[in-house]
Every structure is written in C-alpha cells, then in structure tokens.
Chains A and B, each alone.
Chain A
Amino acid sequence: MENSRAIHLLRWFCPPHLLEEIEGDLLQKFEKDVENFGDRRARRRLVWNTVRYFRPGIVLRNDFDVSLNSMYMFRNYFKVASRVMVRNKSFSLINIFGLTLGLSGALLLFLWIVNEFSYDRFHADKERIYTVWNRDVHQGQIECSNHTPRVLSPTLRTEFAAVEAVASFAAWEKPYLLTHNENKLMNKDGVFVDADFLSILSFPLLKGDAASALSEPSSIVLTETLAKKLFGDKEALGEEITLKADGYTIPFTITGILHDLPANTDFRFEYLLPWRFIELNFGEDTFWGNNSVITLVKLKAGVDSEQFAVQIKDLKKKNRQEETAELFLHPITKNRLYSKFENGVQSGGRIEIIRMLGILGVCLILIACINYVNLSTARAQKRSKEVGIRKVNGAHRPSIILQFLCESVLIAILAGIVSLGIVYIALPAFGTLVQQPLGFAVADLNFWIGIAFVILFIGILAGGYPAFYLSAFNPVRILKGAPITSSGRNVLRQVLVVFQFGFAITLIVSVIVVHKQIGYVQNRDAGYAKDGLIYQPLSGDLLANYQAYKNELLSSGASLSVTKSGSPITEVWSGTTEIRWRGKDPNTKIAIERFDVDGDIVATAGLTLLEGRDISLTEYPSDSTAVLLNETAMKAMSFTEPIGEIIVDDGVEYHVVGVVKDFVLTSPYQKIAPMVLQGPAPGRNLFEIVHIKLNPNLRVQDNLKLIASLNSKYNPDFPFEYEFVDLEYKRKFADLETTLTITGIFSSMAICIACLGLLGLSTFMIESRVKEIGIRKVLGASVTGITRLLCWHSIRPISLAVLIFSPVAWWAMNWWLQSFDYRIEMSFGYIVLSALALILLAIVTVVGQTIHAAGRNPVNSLRSE
C-alpha cells in the first residue's frame, strides 16, 4: 500500500505537517473498506477519497514561498543560453530565422482572422438583430437567399409584437447625380432604408438625430466623406441637395451626417434615402413575389428568436397563394462567415476559408518548431557533458529541463520581437492584398498579453521535447565518454522532417493547381467580343435623347454598333422562375436570368447566333416583344424548333427570334445559366446601360473624346463615366488571383523554413560524419560517390513525404476545385511537377556543403585522434 498512486498524489499537494494524519486516516479507512467491500472497490474508494482532499481548505494550507535563489538560477540559465547561441551562430540563426518566418506568417494570418471575426459585431444588441432569409425549392434543390419582398418589413412592424424595429435595405447601385450648387457627383452607393435602420445597426451619426433622420420622405443622410466631397468644409446639415436620374430631379434635405462606415461591416453605402420617398412617389410595393430587398429585424429584448422564427415561417405563403418559400432568421453576427446554405441547412461559408487559414498558421509555427526540435536533439551530444556536470553538481532533472526551456523561450522571444517588427512593416501591404485594412492593436494590453503567451507557448512547444530528452542523460555514462545511442531519435527526426516537407508539398501543389485553374478560366471563351466594348450608365437626359445619341455615335464613326440593356454584359441584375412556355412542367421551377436588350445586341456584343436573327426594331417593328434564348435556355425549355415559340414573362408574350451561343454573363467559374434576352416590350422600362462597340479603325482615345463630346451635348448635366468590358471581365479573377498570391507567399515561407531545417540537419550530419568520410576516401571512394551517399541521406525523408502527402494534396485540391463548375481536372502531372520541384530545391539546399565535405582532404580529418 505504501506505493499506492493515490497516496503519491496526496503527498504532492498536501501540506507536510498534515500529511501523516491524513494518510493514516485514509489507510485505516481503506483497510476497513477491504473487509467490507473487497479489494477492488476499496481501492476505488481510496482514490476517490484522496482526490477529494484536493480542495482549498487543504491545498491552501501549504507554505508558498518564493525563494530568491531561483532568480539567480534563472539568470544563470539565460547567461548560458546566450553564450550557447553566440557560440553556435549558424544554428541559432537557423532557429531564430525559421521561427521568425513561421511566427510572422502566423501573426499575419491571425490578424486577418481576427479582423474577419470582427465583421458586424460592433452593433449594439447584435444578438437581437437578424436578417430574414428565404428557403425555397428550385428543381428539387432547397435554396436559400437573403432577398425578401419589400412588403415584409411593414408587415413585420405592424403585425408582430416581438419586433422592436425592422427595416428594408435596398442597395440597387443605381447611379444618381448629386448636386449642390455647382458641385456635381455621380454616386451609385445610395441605399433606400426604412427610418428604423439607424436604430437597428450602430452606424453613429456625427450630426443629426438617428431616430428621426430618415422619417421625412425628402430627407437624406450622407457619410462624412461624401458630405466633404459635396460641401467641402462647409456645414452640410440642413442643406439641400438634388438627386437626378431618369429625367427626375428631386430635392432632398440633409438631416444627418454619418461617421464613415467602419471597414469591418458588410453593409456598404455612402448615402441613405428613406423608403417613404419611394412609397410617396411610386406607390407601395405590396407584391409578395418580388424579392428585391434585404430585411433587417431587431427583436425586443427577451424575445425567443426561435419562437419568432416559427411565427414568421409561413408568412409568405399566407400572403400569396402560389408562394412556396419559407422565411427564416439568420443572425447578423453570422452574416459574413456563415452564410452558405446547402440544401437549406447552414453549411459553412467564408468560415471554411478562415479555418484553412488558421490551419495554415498553426502549421507554419509547427514546422518552425520542428526545426528547433530536430536541431537540438541532433546536437544533443554536444550538450551532454554540460548536462552531466550539472547533474554531478547536484542539479535535479526539473532544473535542467527548466534550463533548456529557458533557452528555447529566449530564442522564441528573439524571434517574436523580430517578427513583430516584420509584421508591423508588412501589415499595410498584406492588408491591401486581402482588401481589408488590418491593424495592430498597439494600445491594447490584451493583445500584448496574448502575444507574450503565444511566444512563451512556442518556446515551450519547441523546447519541450529537447528539454526532456537532454535532461534524461545518465551522468555516469556521459562523463565516462559513452556515445549517445539514438537510433530512435533519428526516426523521430525523420518523421518530423517528413511532416515538414509533406506540408510544403501540399502547398506547392495548391499553388500550381490554383495557377492552372486561373489560367484555364481566363482562357475560357466568354462567348462575346470583349475588345473595344465599353458601357456607360443610361442616366439623366441620355434616356430621352438616346435615339439621337445613338444615331450620332454611329454617323460620327466613333462606334460600329450601339445598344442599350438592363445591365452591363458582365453582370446579371434580374432573374425569375416565373417564365412560362409551351410544354413547361408546372411543377418545375427553373431560375432563368433576364437580360433586357434593345436591338442589335448580337452585333454590339459580338455574340454568335446559332439560329434565327438578331433583334432589330428598325426592320421588324414587332420586335419589341422579340426574345433571344441562349443555348442553355433552349435546352431547358426543350425546344427543338425554337424560332417562333412563345414565352410568357410578367404578362408579356415574347416570340423567340433566335438562339445565341452561351456566353458568360456573371461568373466565368460557373455553369452558364439559362437566359432570355428580352426585347424592349412596351411598359417595361428597364434600361440602365448603354453598350458601345468602338470603331477599331480609330484610336481608342479619339473615339472616347468623340463620345465624351457627344455626351456633353446630349446629357450635359452628367459627367461621362464608362467602363471597358474587358477590364471589368478581368476583375472577375481578382479574388482568385489574391488567393494565388496568398498561397504563394505562405508556401514560400513554409518551403523556406523546411529547407532551413534541412540545411541545419545536413550540416550537422556532415560534421558528425567527417571521420567516416575521411576513411571512405582513404579506402578509395570517389567524391561523387560520397556526395551521392550524403545527399541521399538528406533526400530520403523528402521522397517519403512526397509519397505520403501527395494523396492528401490531391484530395484537398480536388475538394477545392469542386467549388467551380468550370474547372481543370486534378492531374497526376501537378503532383509530379511539385515533387520534382521540391526535391530539386532540397538537393540545391544540401549539395553545396556535401560536395565541399566530400572534396576535403582525408588527411585533415583523420590526422588527430
């Protein structure tokens, strides 16, 4: 019983002066229990009884005293550590540099992740604010979307007691001309909201009253920056500005100035307009089938959101018979990271990327720590005498462990300081890359405490194993001069190297695959001619003067073809599931994209006609109800002879006049959706954009100058603003290119760290095999032979890493590719290419010193023994 583990535990925490008594009582009880319950149960009871002594009433009776002695020892440890570091400059440098790289990378990622998590969390009462989403079945698929009918907001306000405030949020990106005296400004970042909006989300007003700012139909709220642009340093509050669009000119009074929006919100706008204005001028939109706005709800405090969700679930169906969509609530705090729904269930979203980044950061630190572990254990022999002497002089194992931990923590601190500097310098550039202003919370004490803990943790993580390993040496054996036999350690080192390079190869494969995927999609045939095509908003007087403007564009020779449309050819602004055609199964719901066009769209955009003809109002007056289908739409509607078929949309009967080859309107990564290119039906006035095909025979500048002068003639109030379609199209790749850059940066970091470790290990290996090399040479080995032998030793774990981690990389990248409809196939070639690159890199790393070692004169290495 003496050695019972329970009693050992007790000795560890029980104050010595109480120990004897308690032990005695426990043992007495135990012996009694043995008689009553038998050995096993008695033992269990003993353990349980003992554990329960671990309570403040007992533990706090210990004497806690801090002896100054340990401070002296600490100072000694750091002194020795710094000496060791200075003596082994190359190893210290490799360690510090590797840790610095790993830590910098991880810190950058960490700051990014923290920023991602801060999105829309600054709103007061954020846990009571929700957006309302739809859940609907499309072609057997449950799909979710956050656009809801306008009428939802007033309905929630009047019919539900649980609602504290509710607002529609409509960002239609329509360009308005804002005018104050002589200052004019085109701006499309205006949003229509209900008066409650400013009391739901915490966007504080600099001037004005949040509760009443948007209650008048002619009020407008500007952000600070926009107000400055229009008014300079003058007082803007209470001033009047006019908004111009589509032939309207309406005065608004400024009733509030907002602080500029923080960067960490997904709500973007520069001015707010009241819904009351729309309703007063255009009537109330009470149609439950028009999903056009985002609805924000703030519930009253104490309301159970789930109960409320049940109440509103069938609201749409109740108000519109043919409606099938359910409504549900999505918390605003999850808006950014958790807004992907699969089959109606929340399934990740941006958080998946964030998780990957987190893993990447941790792995960077891990492989840097592996370097430290490997180099320290490899060089154990060198420190063994020191450990022996310390032990002989009475050092306990814990104090030696502490000593080595001090060393690793010291290195971690140095690396931490350097990497803080690097991060501080690199952060603005990195912030630009990820398109978020990232910052250091320099004044935040918690940040520094956090950093201190991380550095301490890394020091312990890196130094923990070496410390235990080194402190276990038997002083007698060591001081007698026995070598450290460590085949087991060798295996561990190899395993760690395999992990390092496995991580590296995964990253290299991902860089290659991302690169290939971008190239592949960039080379995808867009289906239309992007070159020399520009578009401009159809604003102001241009709407009325369009025909004259178009005629003069053509007659002046600036343009070959002009057409107006409902959206730019790089975007889709309208879609529906309500289109009917002959033979449509009434139960299917197919989402069809709408592209409202005028005549000559085929000619202007350079589409390819497969059947039929272009829409032409001059030749065929009935073409106002003509429609072109894209190939996918033709198949979706299962027309074999499409020309002359009738499709019905929004009460208008369109006749099909042609079929065009599929072309990319939205995302070049995705499948092309069925699309109808509808003619300008009477009553539908949806034109927003003019597309102009420039005349290639003239210089672009001259063309644009000509067009600008025509603009000032036909639309004098509005500045001439235009976009090149090919540049817009390129912007679709910006996200993925950012991904590529980021993967590139962090892969290089990882590879750099891994190669540093390899360099250190091979240096050490050569150092310890100098005599062996000498003997081999004396016995006739050639330089190439020895080089091959030594290189192979270094390369072997890397080949193993390639073998083990290639499937991982394959799987991961295959998963990534699945998110694109239009994608490359994962190929064996990418893996081979990455493996070759990595092995080549490794050989380059080690071959220099290997050849040098192999070429040395054996006399020098064998002379002294």
Chain B
Amino acid sequence: MIKEYLGEFEELVLTLVAALQEDAYGAAIAEEIESRLKREVNFSAVHVTLYRLEDKGLIKSSFGGATKERGGRRKRIYTITSAGMAMLKAMKETRVELWKMVPQLKIS
C-alpha cells in the first residue's frame, strides 16, 4: 500500500477524533483545539478536514441524536477507523524514532 501522508492539521483532527470518541463532532473538535492548543481555528477548516479524512477512509461518521441547543439539528459523530488508527500509530512511531536520533542535551 502506498503510504498516505497527513498534514499537520489533519493529524491533529484525526487524533482528536480518536480521543473524543462519542463526542467527536465538528464544533467539539474546534473547541478542543481552541482550548487545549490555544490556537484560533475556523469551523470551516475543521469541517473540510473531517470530510477529507472521511474520503481517505481514516474516519467514518454517523448521525447522533438531536439536542435542543443546536436548533434541533443532529450532530454528525465521527469515529476513527482501524486504518485511521494504524496511520496514527505509524506516524507516532516514526516520530519517536526520529526523536531518538536527535542528540540530547547532556548536563556534564
């Protein structure tokens, strides 16, 4: 299989989908990014990324229940697929390996 590469933001969103589990939908992911990473994100950017990940088969989605606070609109809940999980793991491992190659600061 030719390895797909993920952009930084894609990886971030994918990780959050995995982390938030049942609560992974557009607005929630955007809020997580804002509150945890202190980084301004735009909703449309999050949505576009989600759709792209879905196209790549890394996540899948289903409608959740309607709640009152959203004007009766249903949420679309995203869950990570096994392909997505594998990708995430692979990325993390390469990161760690590369990190090991960096000479660490030694206190002598």
- Shortest B65–chain A CB gap in Å is 11
Q: How large is the interface on A (under 10, 10 to 19, 20 to 34, 35 or more residues)?
A: 20 to 34
Q: How far is the CB of B108 from chain A (nearest CB, A)?
A: 51
Task: Tell me the bound Cα distance from A29 to B31 in angstroms.
Answer: 9
Complex Cα gap A20–B42 (Å): 18
Q: Name the A residues within 8 Å of B43 (CB-CB).
A: 22, 25-26, 29, 49, 52-53
Check A21/B73 contact, CB under 8 A, given A57-B52, A58-B48, A61-B51.
yes
Also in contact, A24 and B52, with CB within 8 A (given A49-B44, A58-B44): no
The 0/1 profile, CB within 8 Å of B marked 1, for residues 381-398 of chain A is: 000000000000000000
Q: Is the CB of B74 within 8 A of A24?
A: yes
CA of A22 to CA of B44 in the docked complex: distance in angstroms? 9
Residues of B within 8 A of A58 (CB): 44, 47-48
Say how far A57's CB is from chain B's closest CB, in angstroms. Answer: 3
Give the secondary structure class of B's interface: helix
Q: B44 near A55 (CB under 8 angstroms)? A: yes
Contacts known (A18-B51, A21-B74, A25-B25); A53 close to B69, Cβ less than 8 A: no
**In the complex, chain A residues whose CB is within 8 Å of the CB of B69:** 27-28, 31
Distance in angstroms between the alpha carbons of A28 and B23 in the assembled complex: 14
Given contacts A49-B42, A53-B44, contact A27 B71 (CB under 8 A): yes
| 21 sample A-B contacts, Cβ–Cβ < 8 Å, listed by A number | A1-B71, A18-B51, A20-B73, A21-B47, A22-B43, A22-B47, A25-B26, A25-B30, A26-B43, A27-B69, A27-B71, A27-B73, A28-B27, A29-B27, A29-B30, A49-B43, A52-B43, A53-B47, A57-B51, A57-B52, A61-B51
A63 shortest CB reach to chain B, Å? 15
Per the CB 8 Å criterion, the residue count for chain B at the interface is 18
B76 on the A face (CB < 8 A): yes
Question: Is B70 in contact with chain A by the CB < 8 A criterion?
Answer: yes
Which among A1, A27, A52 is the interface contact of B44 at CB below 8 angstroms? A52
Please measure, in the bound complex, the distance between the C-alpha atom of A23 and the C-alpha atom of B70, giving whole angstroms.
8
CA distance A369 to B25 in the complex (A): 54
Identity of the chain B residue whose Cβ is nearest the Cβ of A1 in the assembled complex: B71
B60 interface residue per 8 A CB criterion = no
Residue of B nearest to A26 (CB): B43
Docked Cα-Cα span, A29 to B41, in Å, equals 12
Bound-state CA distance A593–B62 (Å) is 93
Q: Which of B27-52 contact A (CB under 8 A)?
A: 27, 30, 42-44, 47-48, 51-52
With contact pairs A28-B27, A57-B51 given, residues A21 and B71 touching in the complex (Cβ less than 8 Å): no
From residue B17, how far is it (CB to closest CB) to chain A in Å? 14
Q: Are A2 and B71 in contact (CB under 8 A)?
A: yes
A29 CA to B33 CA, complexed, in Å: 14
The residue on B at minimum CB distance from A20 is B73
Q: How many residue pairs, one in A and one in B, have C-beta atoms under 8 Å apart?
A: 65
In the assembled complex, the CB of A59 is this many whole angstroms from the nearest CB of chain B, namely 10
- CB atoms of B71 and A52 under 8 A apart: no
How close is B96's CB to chain A, nearest CB, in angstroms? 32
Given contacts A24-B73, A25-B25, A58-B48, 7 further A-B contacts (CB under 8 A): A22-B47, A25-B47, A29-B30, A49-B43, A52-B43, A52-B44, A55-B44
- What are the residues of chain B within 8 A of A53 when measuring CB–CB? 43-44, 47
A57 proximity list for chain B (CB < 8 A): 44, 47-48, 51-52
> What residues of B have a CB within 8 angstroms of the CB of A21 in the complex?
25-26, 47, 73-76
Contact residues, A1-41 vs B (CB, 8 A)? 1-2, 18, 20-29, 31
Chain B contacts to A: CB under 8 angstroms:
25-27, 30, 42-44, 47-48, 51-52, 69-71, 73-76
B25 / chain A contacts, CB cutoff of 8 Å: 21, 25
CA distance A31 to B68 in the complex (A): 11
Considering the complex, which residues of chain A in the window 48-93 have a beta carbon less than 8 Å from any beta carbon of chain B?
A: 49, 52-53, 55, 57-58, 61
Q: Which residues of A contact B76 (CB under 8 A)?
A: 20-21
Q: Which B residues are in CB contact (< 8 Å) with A61?
A: 51
Q: How far is the CA of A20 from the CA of B47 in the complex (A)?
A: 12
* A162-190 interface bits toward B, Cβ cutoff 8 Å, 1 = contact, 0 = none: 00000000000000000000000000000
Q: For residue A666, give the distance in angstroms from its CB to the closest CB of chain B.
A: 69
Which residues from chain B contact A22 at a C-beta distance below 8 Å? 26, 43, 47
CB distance from A69 to the nearest CB of B (A): 30
Q: Bound state CA distance, A2 and B71, in angstroms? A: 8
Q: Which residues of B contact A18 (CB under 8 A)?
A: 47, 51
Nearest Cβ on chain B to A279's Cβ, whole angstroms: 70
Interfacial chain A residues near B30, Cβ < 8 Å: 25, 29
Indicate if the CB atoms of A23 and B71 lie closer than 8 Å: yes
Contacts of A28 in B (CB 8 A): 27, 69-70
Chain A minimum-CB-distance residue to B27: A25
Smallest CB-CB separation from B50: which chain A residue? A21
* Cα(A417)–Cα(B47), bound, Å: 51
Nearest CB on B from A2, distance (A):
7
Chain A residues with CB under 8 A of B74: 20-21, 24
Q: Tell me how far the C-beta of A546 lies from the nearest C-beta in chain B, rounded to whole angstroms.
A: 90
Give chain B residues whose Cβ lies under 8 Å from the Cβ of A20.
73-74, 76
Q: Which residues of B have CB within 8 Å of A1?
A: 71
**B44 near A23: Cβ-Cβ < 8 Å:** no
Instruction: Give Cα A53–Cα B27 distance, bound, in whole angstroms.
Output: 14
Inter-chain contacts of A29 with B (CB < 8 A): 27, 30, 43
How many angstroms from the CA of A29 to the CA of B69 in the assembled complex?
Answer: 10
Closest approach, in angstroms, between the C-beta of A54 and any C-beta of chain B? 8
Closest A residue, CB atoms, query B47? A22
CA separation between A1 and B47, bound complex, in Å?
Answer: 22
Bound: A532/B34 CA distance, A? 96
In Å, the complex CA distance between A61 and B51 comes to: 10
Which residues of the other chain, B, contact A2 by a CB distance below 8 angstroms?
A: 71
Residues of chain A lying within 8 A (CB to CB) of residue B70: 24-25, 27-28
| A55-B47 Cα distance, complex, nearest whole Å | 11
Chain B residue with the shortest CB-CB distance to A31 = B69
Q: Which residue of A lies closest to B70 (CB)?
A: A24
Q: Which residue of A lies closest to B74 (CB)?
A: A20
Q: How far is it, in angstroms, between the C-alpha of A507 and the C-alpha of B51 when the chains are bound?
A: 62
Q: Name the B residues within 8 Å of A27 (CB-CB).
A: 69-71, 73
- Among A18, A20, A23, A28, the most chain B Cβ lie within 10 Å of the Cβ of A28
CB closest residue in chain A, given B52: A57
The 10 closest A-B pairs by CB, nearest first: A24-B73, A57-B48, A25-B27, A24-B70, A21-B76, A25-B26, A53-B44, A27-B71, A52-B44, A28-B27
For the complex, what is the distance from the CA of A55 to the CA of B46, rounded to whole Å? 12
Bound-state CA distance A20–B52 (Å) is 18
> B11 to nearest A CB, angstroms?
17
Q: Which residue, A18, A25, A53, A57, has most C-beta atoms of chain B within 10 A?
A: A25
- The answer to whether A52 and B42 touch across the interface, beta carbons within 8 angstroms, is yes
Q: How far is the CA of A21 from the CA of B69 in the complex (A)?
A: 13
For the complex formed, measure the closest distance between the CB of A515 and the CB atoms of chain B, giving whole angstroms: 65
Chain A 721-758 per-residue mask, 1 if CB under 8 angstroms from chain B, else 0: 00000000000000000000000000000000000000
Give the complex CA separation of A52 and B45 in angstroms.
9
Task: Give the docked Cα–Cα distance between A52 and B71 (Å).
Answer: 21
Collect the chain B residues with CB atoms within 8 Å of residue A24's CB: 27, 70-71, 73-75
Query: A25 to chain B: closest CB distance in Å?
Result: 4
B69: min CB distance to chain A, Å: 6
